[in-house]
Amino acid sequence: MASELIQTEYAEIMQKSYIDYAMSVIVARALPDVRDGLKPVQRRTLYDMYELGIRWDRPYRKSARIVGDTMGKYHPHGDSSIYGSLVVMAQDFKMGQPLVDGHGNFGSIEGDGAAAMRYTEARLSRLTQEAFLADLDKEVVDFVPNFDETEKEPAVLPARIPNLLVNGSEGIAVGMTTSIPPHNLGEVIDAVIALIRDSSLTNEELMQYVKGPDFPTGGIVVNASELAQIYSTGTGKIRIRGRVEVEKVPRSDRKRIVITQIPYTMIGAGIGKFLNDVAALADSRLGSDIADISNQSSKEGIRIVLELRKGADEEYIKKLLYKKTRLEDTFSVNMLAVSNSRPETLSLHDILEAHIEFQFELATKKYRNLLDSELSKKEIQEGLIRAVDVIDLIIEILRGSKDRAMARNCLVTGNTEGIRFKTKKSQADAKKLRFTEAQATAILEMRLYKLIGLEIDALMAEYQDTLKKIDLYTDILNHYSSMADVIVRQLEEFRDRYASERRTKISDEEEIVLEERKAEAYPCVLLMDRFGYARTVDEAVYEKNKDAADEENRLVIHCMSDSRLCVFTDTGKAHILKAEKIPHGKFRDKGTPIDNLCNYDSAAETFLAVMNLEEIRTQRLVFLTAHGYIKMVEGSEFDVSKLTVASTKLEEGDRLICVHPAHFQAGCVMITKNSMALRIMVDEIPLQKKNARGVYGIRLSKDDEVDQVFFLEEGAPTETEVNGRTVALNRLRIASRGTKGTKIRK
């Protein structure tokens, strides 16, 4: 058979395939439907629990049973996504109204994961059963084939409450995300009722009912004035603060700060990070008034306690927590949902309007089906009532018929052929019978006890009840106000039964302005080991461990906690290092690489000296390079705001080998690789700017460079070994700068 080749651009195929994939992820996995507020995995899990009969008033069933059944029938995307959604729907600290009643370890607000699905059990919550699944048997929503077309599943659940707002949603699709905060059930229902009563209400007017998000963790929304814009556009940022209280410590004049509510964004690992951040603040002396921190949270709620020192300023500590930790955080709102089979960013009005439209659609289908059912019932009841009046004739027809079909035909068409009657009158009356097919079937199936007087009375009462229902359903279907009243009554029932007090406070708070108190400077000692790890310790700690500190560290510098240090390197750079940035701790702490504390790069340069700017500001420094250039620079030139400055100018191939304060009384000695030595006095060294190259300190022959330099001052060594010979440096002849010096022979 000949094959047909279709030529097309590769880019077009990729574009179409990617768009198809993206829409599949968006619509079928990641985003909730605006009608029931559920993602497909949530909807399928709840429906499967409904099918399994795991109702709120029945025993719990193993989560593994639910997950396995859902995966096998409806959601073939792995058990982790199904169990993950089941867990979230059972967590009251994530959901405004939990949809699943979990039994066992379903995780904690502090980030502890749920137990394995083989250990936990679950069942539907009462709200889910009544507000999401109650009308599934009334054919109010469409059912579609599952992935292998062996089962049917609802395209959407007949949700009676605006779940998209009540429980919110978070999801990451392809190229888009949704982030909808949870809201208060009572407020949202009030807004729906108001919009049903008056469809002209604007977003701003609806916000008289929906004040803002209502997070399960409570907290305070502090930018209330921006909420109107957020709810109008569907996007924006909500700023949330934790709730903080100040308590007096019993039998003490100290106080404690107690955090009783946290931002919604801190759920999980955020609490542990918060505790670590507070501990770091306490150690950094910004929060030195914090004596201790403990997490006393339990099932009853959040309780994080910060013990304060005597005389602490609790208001300052509160501001510090809000500014330096996630106790004040931002929730990004993007109210994206699937509406009319496509993703849309919706406003508050859009979501409520879509919910109301869905409710009227559900109610129309429900009451049309109920009306059809009652009309069918009315038809049968009328047939039975009529049959009671001519019961003797019907019995005669039944006794005279050869089979069921003959009797049925007579009841429907009046055909008496083949039927034996006692009298001609009975036959004539039988020919007048005209029951419907349904009525004839009901008559033939009617039992004799239905002929008892009380049963006949009950049939008449039932018929009257049916007529009332038909009138009611007809009125609901034909009048908007009647259907609206029914929907409103249902909403009011859910509100009265399930609504709770608002947990999140909505207000406009001033921006936190933290006037950081400058910590009082204290003496400390900088220690840097041979690997370049630096830390500072208290002077008393250093004195206690002086011998070990001097032996184990390549650098020991006394400074103040607010000092600035200057790191000179062989590339001619000077990096400014703030002592307050260096971790302060115990003597045996490892410290932090100096590379991480300033612009110094240990891979590209070698540090020569670290000096306290406070000390060298009033001194002069001598710089000497490998090519023999020397100069003197005022230390104040390095007192700059930049993090890195040039300390000297270097020609190509040259490098800085020494930086030293210019307080040597007996001069300095330069020794080269070729064993040339030159001793000059300090007044021979010219004073230049830090950007100058310097002048010749020693004139070098070809392929020679300065290898060592010694400064002859009190306490400094006066002897060294050159070519195996001990040389007394203070006995070398003093010469002029810029000369070749003296050869030191073996």
pLDDT at 24 (0 to 100): 60
- Measure the CA–CA gap between 80 and 71, rounded to whole angstroms: 10
Give the tokens for residue 460: 């008449």
* Predicted pLDDT of residue 25: 55
Same domain, 458 and 591: no
The CATH number of the domain where 721 resides is what? 2.120.10.90
Query: Which domain CATH number covers 68?
Result: 3.90.199.10
pLDDT at 689: 93
Query: How many other CB atoms are there within 10 angstroms of residue 22's CB atom?
Result: 16
Looking up residue 492, the CATH number of its domain turns out to be 1.10.268.10
Give the three-class secondary structure for 354. Answer: helix
Domain shared by 148 and 258, yes or no: no
User: 102-157: per-residue pLDDT in tens?
Assistant: 999 999 998 889 999 999 999 999 999 999 999 898 889 999 999 889 999 999 99
Do the Cβ atoms of 52 and 151 come closer than 8 Å? no
Q: Are 375 and 277 part of one and the same domain? A: no
Domain shared by 472 and 534, yes or no: no
Are 531 and 665 in the same domain? yes
Place of tokens 């702490």: 589
Residues 635 and 706 in one domain: yes
Contacts of 8 (CB under 8 A, 6+ apart): none
CB neighbours of residue 301 within 10 Å: 12
30 lies in some domain: no
Q: Which residues pair with 247 in a beta bridge?
A: 256
Query: pLDDT by residue (tens digit) across 573-607?
Result: 999 998 888 888 788 888 889 888 898 888 889 88
Same domain as 705, residue 568: yes
Q: Is the pTM of this model over 0.75?
A: no
- CA gap 645, 572 in Å, rounded: 9
Number of structural domains the chain divides into:
4
Other Cβ atoms less than 10 A from the Cβ of 4: the count is 4
The pLDDT, as a whole number, for residue 18 is 60
CATH code of 297's domain: 3.30.1360.40
Is the residue at 615 inside a domain?
A: yes
Residue 541 forms part of a structural domain: yes
Taking 50 as the pLDDT cut, the residues of the chain under it are 1
Q: Which of 18, 21, 119, 696 is catalytic?
A: 119
Please check whether residues 372 and 492 belong to one and the same domain.
yes
- Classify 641 as helix, strand or coil: coil
Which of 124, 158, 192 is the last residue before a domain boundary? Answer: 158
Q: Which 3 state secondary structure label does DSSP give 470? A: helix
Do residues 640 and 718 both lie within one domain? yes
Whether residues 363 and 294 fall in one domain? no
Say whether 600 is catalytic.
Answer: no
175 within some domain: no
Q: Give the type of residue at 171.
A: G
pLDDT at residue 375 in the model: 93
Domain boundary among 158, 187, 211: 158
- Do 466 and 528 have their domain in common? no
Query: Which of 158, 191, 221 marks a domain boundary?
Result: 158
- Asked whether residue 546 is domain-assigned, the answer is yes
Q: In this structure, how many other beta carbons lie within 10 angstroms of the beta carbon of residue 18?
A: 12
* Residue 611 forms part of a structural domain: yes
Q: Do 184 and 502 touch, CB atoms closer than 8 A?
A: yes
CA–CA gap between residue 160 and residue 137 (Å, rounded) = 15
654 lies in some domain: yes
Are 482 and 531 found together in one domain? no
Instruction: Check if the beta carbon of residue 560 is closer than 8 Å to that of residue 524.
Output: yes
The sign one gets for the Cα dihedral 451, 452, 453, 455 is negative
Residue at 202 is within a domain: no
Give the range of the structural domain holding residue 416, as residue numbers without chain letter: 354-497
Measured CA to CA in angstroms, residue 192 lies from 207, 352, 357 at distances of 11, 6, 11
